[in-house]
Amino acid sequence: MSKAIYPGSFDPVTKGHLDIIIRASRIMDSLTVAVLDNPRKVATYNIEKRVEMLKLVTKPYPNVNVDYYKGLLIDYAEQKETDIIIKGLRAISDFEFEFQMALVNQKLNPAIETLFMMTNSKYSYLSSSIVKEIAALGGDISSLVPPEVHDIIIAKYAD
Ligand code: ADP
């Protein structure tokens, strides 16, 4: 049985993330979207909000569940008894960091494989930071984020 995790900050979830989730869920028996709770990085949306938004957008996909973790990804993967880590790649700029992380994780646990999925060309420019930048300046983010979470995202910038 193929059991994968898709880790990230998801601060907040975008249509680019959801595209990877849907495509990965088609090839895996089960997929856990795992939100990193990183105490060293200040997030815009707290861990509960990020999990809540992911739960809303993944509701139609029965083999997808949402969780969060602290600490090392490889420790979390072992604890979940998962042997596949899914990562999305948008551009060459993602590659160097992800390449290093994949090799480090391979060193820490060679039984766990990192699989990379290419972005959908429609979303190659899209990141959580871009969404927040546009929302903060009062722009329209409706083409960038799933409709279920649009209002939750902009509520942060209401005043
Ligand atoms: P970001 O804040 O840059 O969106 P995340 O940590 O939330 O980053 O991303 C989680 C995972 O999703 C990473 O593997 C990242 O490369 C991938 N990802 C993010 N946005 C996209 C996108 N538009 N297309 C494909 N993969 C993406």
pLDDT tens, position by position, 16-26:
999 999 999 99
* pLDDT beyond 80 at 150: yes
pLDDT of residue 62: 98
Radius of gyration of the chain (CA): 15
How far, in Å, from the CA of 132 to the mean position of ligand 1?
Answer: 14
- What's the pLDDT score for residue 92? 80
Phi-psi region for residue 61, left (φ > 0), alpha (ψ -120 to 50) or beta? beta
Q: How confident is the model at residue 133 (pLDDT cuts 50, 70, 90)?
A: very high
What average pLDDT does the segment 103-125 reach? 96
- C-alpha torsion sign, points 90, 106, 13, 2: positive
Q: Which domain holds residue 34?
A: 3-156
CA–centroid distance, 85 to ligand 1, in Å, is 13
Number of domains in the chain: 1
Give the Å distance between the CA of 30 and the centre of ligand 1. 19
pTM over 0.85: yes
pLDDT of 159 over the 80 cut: no
Q: Is the CB of 146 under 6 A from ligand 1?
A: no
CATH classification of the domain holding 15: 3.40.50.620
Among 5, 10, 15, 17, residue to substitute to test ligand 1 (most atoms within 8 Å of Cβ): 17
